[in-house]
Structure 1
Amino acid sequence: MDAKRAEQIMRSPAIIGVKYRNNYVWIEDVDKGRNTAHVTYLEERNTLHVDIDQLEETGPVETLH
């Protein structure tokens, strides 16, 4: 994923699935200068900064589990 798409997902009114290392995350913030994103694991609620290119878009989500 690139920074522009990460920002689009973050600002989207739709829920779009994103995974980091096979775990779903919520994009909290994007730092284009460093090409990183602040994300929260949905299941564990842990937050971390990751390289945007390691994020994987999985598509629209109907409901959160």
Structure 2
Amino acid sequence: MDASRAEQIMKSSDIIGVMYRNNYVWIEDIDKGRNTAHVTYLEEHNTIHVGIDQLEETGPIKQLH
């Protein structure tokens, strides 16, 4: 993924799936200068910094409600 797409996903009102190393994450913040993202694992709630190019978009997620 590139920084522009990561920023679009982060700002989107839709819920768009993003994975890092086969785990779903939530993009918290983007650092375009360093090409990194601050992400939180959805299952474990751990927050880490990762390379944006290591993020994988999986597409829109429909809400279950």
Q: Same fold (TM over 0.5)?
A: yes
Q: In the alignment, what sits opposite 1:6?
A: 6
Gaps of 5+ in 1: none
Residue 14 of structure 1 aligns with an amino acid whose one-letter code is D
Summarize the alignment of residues 50-65 of structure 1 with structure 2, pairs less than 5 Å apart.
50-63=50-63
**Pair 1:29-2:29 in alignment:** yes
Provide the alpha-carbon RMSD of the alignment. 0.9
- Deviation at 1:63? 2.4
How many residues align structurally? 64
SS of structure 2 residue aligned to 1:8: helix
TM-score, structure 2 as length reference: 0.96
- Deviation at 1:49? 0.1
